[in-house]
Amino acid sequence: MPRKDDIHIDPNGCLVSFNNAAKEFNAQLRDLCDELNLELKNATVVYVDIYSIKYNIIVNYSKYGFETALMACCGYGGPPYNFSFKTMCGASGYQVCDVGSNYISWDGVHYTEAANSLVVSKILTTWYSKPNIAFDYFCNV
């Protein structure tokens, strides 16, 4: 576990080390999908960059109609995160926001229905996919 002095947060309030790990994982996953597409001639493996979608939503939260980027709707502790490992959503003392659709995070771990709907709409654009194949492609068998 890193010491508090070792934790680096980017300008958007996100943990740099966790984001770097996610980006490295995604780079390797994208490369693996490329390899599989070369080897499996009768299959199509689609890589979707979920990290970029979710980071974009956090960075541009107000553009998408959210009140805050990182605060959980259901949790404990109030701003800036309303999250505590000691008092999670559903535990004694937790608080729930009035309108969950105004938040990206439901409980500090899971996205709200509104945020998940936005993620899905971005996936369906295929802008974050490699190859950029519309999902109806897979229905035309």
Answer whether 129's CB lies under 8 Å from 98's CB. Answer: no
Domain ranges of the chain: 4-139
Task: Report, as an integer, the average pLDDT of 22-46.
Answer: 97
Mean pLDDT of 29-36: 98
> What mean pLDDT do residues 81-90 have?
92
Which residues lie closer than 8 Å to 83 by C-beta, 6 or more apart?
A: 72, 75, 76, 77, 107, 108
* Nearest CA-CA partner of 10 in 2, 20, 1: 20
Over residues 115-133, mean pLDDT: 96
d(CA 55, CA 120): 14
124 pLDDT exceeds 50?
Answer: yes
Q: What is the pLDDT of residue 1?
A: 46
- For helices 50-59 and 113-124, the axis angle rounded to 10 degrees is 130
Q: Report the pLDDT averaged over residues 70-98.
A: 93
